[in-house]
Chain A
């Protein structure tokens, strides 16, 4: 008997074991896969980054080429046309590389992050098709644009239109991709009742989509301009004839000009993006600006400051070398240099300083009582505005060099300009100082915006005035190209490296601000790489990405130059040749220079505080501590603010949330109604009273007991008791809650009914809320409901 028993249990054990493994094998769909040694996150990171840099290049260069071609067409200067063509040639090969990296990225995402990619596809699959068709269109237009260049010389307008079309398609491609990534950072609520095109538009038009679009569009212009500058710089250094030198000197000037042109408005666009991030979710905003990532902004200050310094340096060099009497600008240049450096210092000063214990003791904390004032936003925005103004001034000097103004009102204009500049700089500083004495809201919404508007006003008005001033101006000399020092060409290369590093670094910042989420507040990153790396290791990967990008770009430049090498061997008679053997050694020098900049950047990042950000540990709920309804509500608050993600949209007591304020709702909502809104959010049609004719709309709330939030019946009861506790009496009892655990009681049964039929009302619930079937159709709105509802039309999509 005993043996039989043992045999049976052994048999059962084996069968059950097999069943379990079979079950596991059949349904083992991994959420994550890993690449040994490299790590799945690093692989995706690097490939995505290189893809993005190429994408920026491929989108930025057409804007640049189109502008140059347009200028060439309008002014009739052939060299602009030549420049545009030279860059379009690079496009064709860069385009293929971009697509290749994009393809690798998609494969990596599908294989390494299947759960996440599946979700994204579920939401966005229509845009995938749209994206693919845009890509085909872009390819066609690009090839016609490039191969038809010479053929269409006589039909320039048509060709220009093609260039315009190329850019429009490119912008749409970028906007589509921006929707995917901005959705990850600021997702909108997917309610089951908003379907089809409405839903698609809601997820595309999420709160940070537009700021990201604008920021990237301007950023691409900057990238295109400075990449052109760097290309010209290298070519200049390696040119063998004076003629080549002059051409590449001029090209570098144009690249730098367009780069600065884009750089000036870029901080404003970045500021807007930051504001939208804060508005969307302040936790994300604090992570970026005050918390874990705050040190990163010191790095950002170094990079942008260097960029400003580098491009100004190039302008000053141009002023000194290309004009005959450049040395007369020494005084102005020195003043501008000192101004820039002073602003740079203020910008770089961190709020909390790295100090040893003794030093901190002397300062009375990590904030310096005097210099601490430089550490906050008000000071930083002020100096950025002054740096922008200074750069504009450098540019003005350059613009007006070698020209004698002939218009009669020249003197008045000059006085006016000087006064305006002084006034504006004083004004910007006064506003900045005033910013210390007002609440943050006022500073962010009023003061910063007015600073920006003042500076923009100056940029535009002085530009227009100078253009008028210089009409019919007498020329006192021509720009002498090809006389620049090697140092200025390195400045061009440095600028390009800075722009690339900035893009790479802020990519890290944007991703890191999501902390441990794939899709913020919706899908958690449960992989081994859910943590955020510290600045140093992150900078190493960023530098590696930048290096890979640079290496591929060099390859593309080299491939593009293969076709034109033939004619170069025999120089025409009488050409002035420069020092022999100059060309190749400069290439190594430039490569070494770029490498040392990357290493220096990584080293700088390692010298800052190294902190990783780890996902919070989820608290285990201890049911044995529950004594009363109040305890349940206490646990419910944890779920409300934690796993349930309710607080991402709902506020309690404060206005400004994206969804109704839940203060005091417990007093006016029945338990049945609460249950129904959680499990069938669209059962009631609300009215939007913002409009004179109230518009009915379904609540934009996810079903709480279904994925991705997916609360279990017990958790649902806890949340309900928390809602009831908002001004009302908790009617959920501990027995009911604990009974739910055994699975036999009535409390759990209706909640687990995922279909949400009419019977799905918790115990004791045949009240007025019971007839859910009828309440769906008419606009059942109580005044109290209506008052709460207008805050929510379209969820976060419209805010």
Chain B
């Protein structure tokens, strides 16, 4: 009983306690684990047969007397088939929801990209020279002419077109995006855009244009410098 209450409480916390709400796949996963935990607990300290199976059987089989038990039994016996029917109906009916998002978010870059190097690279902690500052400024101009509409004027992925896209434009302020990537990775994503994603990341999903047809190589590197400079992140290094 206590265990069942714990499980129910945990479910309610997951469902309503976490803001923004969790996707159902995650809740399902957590609840599956909690169920495993409950069974483990019961089988350790109780006899499963005594604790669960026998009461259930006796309840359903009419072992319990009294009007309350009788009414409850009736409700359960009616509700179970209805639940099954409802579930089947839900699954078979067509829905306007697009299918679940299942793309590889962070695909491995092709080999020809991993060796690329920013010709204007500035080491972390290095003083920013006037030339570098000029390049960053140039990158800023390019950003606000081309990228701002989706990625936003605060570089947080909330540009004016933000609502129209799935997946949403990348949020560069998030420490989980550009701070985890190398400059060459950004260069690849900017250059080839959504169309250049490998098959496992479903190219038609991302609306990112193929900037190599519009920006020169140097311009792309300068934009990258601006992204890091503005957000205060540093590109990932391996050595």
Contacts and interface: CB of A to CB of B under 8 A. Distances in A.
B55 interface: no
Contacts of A652: 115-117
29 contacts: A278-B238, A283-B114, A284-B108, A309-B40, A316-B44, A320-B44, A333-B44, A334-B41, A341-B37, A349-B29, A351-B105, A353-B26, A354-B100, A354-B101, A354-B102, A355-B23, A356-B100, A356-B101, A363-B21, A376-B176, A436-B175, A440-B236, A487-B48, A611-B199, A616-B110, A641-B115, A647-B111, A652-B115, A653-B121
A348 B37 contact: no
A487 B43 contact: yes
A595 B175 CA distance: 44
Contacts of A354: 23, 25-26, 100-102
A708 interface: no
A317 B45 CA distance: 9
A313 B116 CA distance: 51
Contact of A647 (B30, B104, B114): B114
B122 interface: no
Interface in B93-138: 97-98, 100-119, 121, 124
A76 interface: no
A193 B20 CA distance: 62
Contact of B41 (A337, A436, A656): A337
Interface string B32-56: 0110110011011100100000000
B30 A345 contact: yes
Nearest to B25: A354
A609 interface: yes
A485 B42 CA distance: 13
A371 B22 contact: yes
Interface stretch (A154-162, A207-215, A288-296, A448-456): A288-296
B18 interface: yes
Interface stretch (B66-74, B83-91, B166-174): B166-174
B65 interface: no
B111 A362 contact: no
Interface residues of B, number: 63
A613 interface: yes
A330 interface: yes
Contacts of B102: 354, 609-611
B198 interface: yes
Interface of B: 18-26, 29-30, 33-34, 36-37, 40-41, 43-45, 48, 97-98, 100-119, 121, 124, 157, 166-168, 171, 174-176, 180, 198-201, 234, 236-239
B37 A439 contact: no
Contacts of B168: 364-365
B97 A283 contact: no
A642 B106 CA distance: 21
Contact of A348 (B29, B105, B108): B29
Interface residues of A, number: 82
A431 B218 CA distance: 39
Most chain A C-beta atoms within 10 Å of own C-beta, residue among B22, B34, B118, B171: B22
Contacts of B171: 365
B166 A360 contact: yes
Contacts, number: 194
A771 to B, nearest CB: 33
B105 to A, nearest CB: 4
A650 interface: yes
B207 to A, nearest CB: 14
A775 interface: no
Contacts of A372: 176
Contact of A317 (B19, B44, B238): B44
Secondary structure at the B interface, as helix, strand, loop or mixed, is loop
Most chain A C-beta atoms within 10 Å of own C-beta, residue among B103, B107, B109: B107
Most chain B C-beta atoms within 10 Å of own C-beta, residue among A327, A334, A609: A609
Contacts of B45: 320, 327, 330
A613 B200 contact: yes
A485 B167 contact: no
B237 A441 contact: yes
A710 interface: no
Nearest to B166: A357
A641 B180 contact: no
Given A283-B108, A614-B199, 7 more contacts: A349-B29, A365-B167, A368-B22, A439-B234, A439-B237, A441-B239, A641-B114
A282 interface: yes
Nearest to B23: A355
Contacts of A279: 238
A663 interface: yes
B41 to A, nearest CB: 6
A370 B110 contact: no
